[in-house]
Amino acid sequence: MPADAASRAAWDVAATVTDPEVPVLTIEDLGVLRSVAVDDDGAVHVELTPTYSGCPAMDAMRDDVLLALTHAGYDRVDVRMVLAPAWTTDWMSDAGRDKLRAYGIAPPSGSAPVRDAGPIRVRLAVKCPRCGSLNTRELARFGSTSCKALFECRDCLEPFDSFKVL
């Protein structure tokens, strides 16, 4: 969060924008909202970080941030994309993880360093967001979007998305 009150107020506006593909999450929950600063001339500078290089939702998020701030009365808004440091699911807030689970998407299991193993990997079990069972199976490594994999639960028999660790 920014240190000064003016920037914090602008942050609170930008933070209401949600991910168009996972609308239960705000860009703050995702860790996509990186910084908001209001300069001496009253212009707002926002920095967003893309989740995936080719994520088509990024343009929508950029436009939505612009709209949200413009509607709130800021007339000079500059939204920039920054790549470094690279986004990781470790930045997703605990509140965001809870919201994902409630929405039926398994949150990332474990943290990014866990992935740094050999070429043929043993995977952590993914818990079914509906019944909590660990008896689940991956159907496809790439789900409806780059950030998700498709699973099915062998106990409640429901298919579900799992947010991949990145």
Partner 1 sequence: MSVEHPGADLDPHGDVTVDRVALADELAGGGASVAASADVAELALRIGDDALVLSQRLGDWITRAPELEEDVALGNIALDLLGHARSLLHYAGTIDGRSEDDLAYFRDEPDFRNAWLFEQPNGDFAHTIARQLFASTYLVELHRGLESSTDATIAAIAAKASKEVDYHRDHAIQWTLRLAGGTEESRRRMIRAVEQTWPYVGELFVDDELATRLADDGIAPLPSSLRPAFDDVIDAVFAEADLARPEGRLAFVVGGRGRSGGHTEHLGPLLAEMQVLARAHPGASW
Residues that bind partner 1 (CB under 8 A): 1-3, 28, 31, 33-35, 47, 49-50, 52-56, 80-88, 90-91, 93-94, 111-113, 115, 118-121, 139-146, 150, 164, 166
Q: What are phi and psi of 68, to 5 degrees?
A: -60, -45
Taking the least distance from each CB to partner 1, the nearer of 88 and 133 is 88
Contact 87, 33 (CB under 8 A): no
Taking the least distance from each CB to partner 1, the nearer of 23 and 118 is 118
**Min dist. Cβ of residue 134 to partner 1 (A):** 21
C-alpha closest to that of 128 among 120, 116, 136: 136
Taking the least distance from each CB to partner 1, the nearer of 67 and 140 is 140
**Min dist. Cβ of residue 143 to partner 1 (A):** 7
**Long-range contacts of the stretch 26-33 (C-beta < 8 A, 24+):** 26/96, 27/61, 27/65, 28/93, 29/92, 29/93, 29/95, 29/96, 29/99, 30/91, 30/92, 30/96, 31/87, 31/88, 31/91, 31/92, 31/93, 32/61, 32/87, 33/65
Taking the least distance from each CB to partner 1, the nearer of 80 and 154 is 80
**Min dist. Cβ of residue 81 to partner 1 (A):** 4
Taking the least distance from each CB to partner 1, the nearer of 63 and 155 is 63
**Min dist. Cβ of residue 95 to partner 1 (A):** 10
**Min dist. Cβ of residue 153 to partner 1 (A):** 17
